Structure 1
Amino acid sequence: MDIEKRVSELVEEKIADRPDLFVVSVKMLPNGKLVILVDGDKGIGIADCVAISRHVGFHLEEENVIETAYNLEVSSPGIDLPLTMPRQFVKNVGRTLALKMADGSKREGTLTGLTEDAIVIEETKKEKGEKAEQIESVIPMGQITETKVVISFK
């Protein structure tokens, strides 16, 4: 039995009545740690994580899915983790993103929107001796290897 697939099904079952919540990833690590990352369009609270943990833990025990000792961890993806799903991009419109491009370059700008297969950012372009200007760029998802939210403490 595919543990990660079964756990994903259990989480989906638990959040079925909560359209604002979504599964980001389920990973069974070699050290016996089962990590479930769940997010929400407006974030996710500790109570939701606890409820998901109890539901998944109960069913894993009932079904004896995992035969070895394991440690179950349910949380929201940390701000340091890259965005991987369209819903995570939607949630972060208005925030500054740092992008690693497939060609090795880096770009940074404010996420202003997204299409089915691209994101739209407003970035500052500055030519030598000229004033900086804000330009809107549409960047195809296929050209981006990693996207992270930039934390500003201004």
Structure 2
Amino acid sequence: MTPDNTPHHTGFDARLADIILPRLAAMGFELVRVRMLGRERPTVQIMADRADGALITVEDCETISHQIGAVLDVEDIVPGAWTLEVSSAGIDRPLTRARDWNRFSGHAAKVEMSVPTLDGRRRFSGVVLGATEGQARLRLEDGSEVIFPLIDIKTARLVLTDALIEATAKSAAPDLH
């Protein structure tokens, strides 16, 4: 698995990702994001993509849920009772990997940093310009460009626009040639 395909996780989410990533890859899927939410009865949320680029189906999510649920039970990494949610990343997906930043170059996104930038800002909106060598680029509304270390991004998410819907519909359409 190349760094381009690997989302950055920290803390407990990183431990979950270490367990989940190789198993998803063996099943033909890629991890977009994993999170554990809640304390009393925590929920493990997994967002995945198909490695072949096709749209993920409900059946794919069921397969992932059964396989990864069994692995998490055996590993016993989540204490007590817990719930597993598996989903596709959706149209207004999070940008967690350099690959996502490159795939959705030209589309609008919102970014929140885990640490403030040099000018003290944490939140940015603009157009995705891609990513290289662990750094993502965004063109802001004023035309300036900002570069973020991928590991310092708390959240980055595509903004639902007509252009994004159109691009997603084109990529989902079957090839008739």
Deviation at 1:116, TM superposition (A): 1.4
Equivalents in 1 of 2:102, 2:16: separation in Å? 27
Counterpart CA distance in 2 for 1:4 and 1:140 is 20
SS of match in other structure, 1:15: helix
How many angstroms apart in 1 are the aligned matches of 2:72 and 2:159?
37
Decide which of 31, 36, 60 is 1:27's aligned counterpart.
Answer: 36
Structure with more of its chain in strand, by fraction: 1
1:85-100 mapped onto 2 (5 Å cutoff): 85-100=97-112
Contact 1:23 1:38 (8 Å CA) reproduced: yes
- Whether the 8 Å CA contact 2:129–2:137 is kept in 1: the answer is yes
Measure the CA separation in 2 of the matches of 1:55 and 1:145: 28
Q: Give ranges in structure 1 of 5+ residues lacking alignment.
A: 126-134
Match of 2:159 among 146, 150, 154: 150
More helix by share: 2
User: Could you state the TM-score of these two structures normalised by the residue count of structure 1?
Assistant: 0.64
Shift of 1:73: 1.5
- The 1:39/1:14 distance shift into structure 2, 3 A limit, reads closer
2:46 aligned residue: 37
2:157 aligned counterpart, secondary structure: strand
Q: How many residues align?
A: 142
Query: How far does the alpha carbon of each residue in 1:66-96 deviate from its partner, in whole angstroms, 9 at most, with x for none?
Result: 6633222112346677533333323432210
In the aligned structure 2, how far is the partner of 1:121 from the partner of 1:3? 26
CA contact (8 A) 1:118 1:138 kept: no
TM-score by length of 2: 0.57
1:46-61 equivalence runs, <5 A: 46-61=58-73
In structure 2, what is the equivalent of residue 112 of structure 1? 129
Q: Work out whether residues 111 and 121 of structure 1, in 8 Å CA contact, stay in contact via their aligned partners in 2.
A: yes
Give 1:71's aligned amino acid: T
In structure 1, how many angstroms separate the alpha carbons of the residues matched to 2:27 and 2:132? 27
Q: Quick one: distance in 2 between partners of 1:69 and 1:112?
A: 42
- Cα-Cα RMSD: 3.7
Per the alignment, do residues 108 and 88 of structure 1 end up closer, same or farther by CA in structure 2, a change over 3 Å counting? same
Distance change (3 Å), C-alpha of 1:106 and 1:68 = closer
Q: Percent identity?
A: 23
Looking at CA atoms only, which structure, 1 or 2, has the larger radius of gyration? 1
Change (3 A) 1:99 1:8: closer
- CA distance in 2 between counterparts of 1:4 and 1:117 reads 18
The one-letter code matched in structure 1 to 2:148 is P
C-alpha deviation, 1:64, in angstroms: 7.6
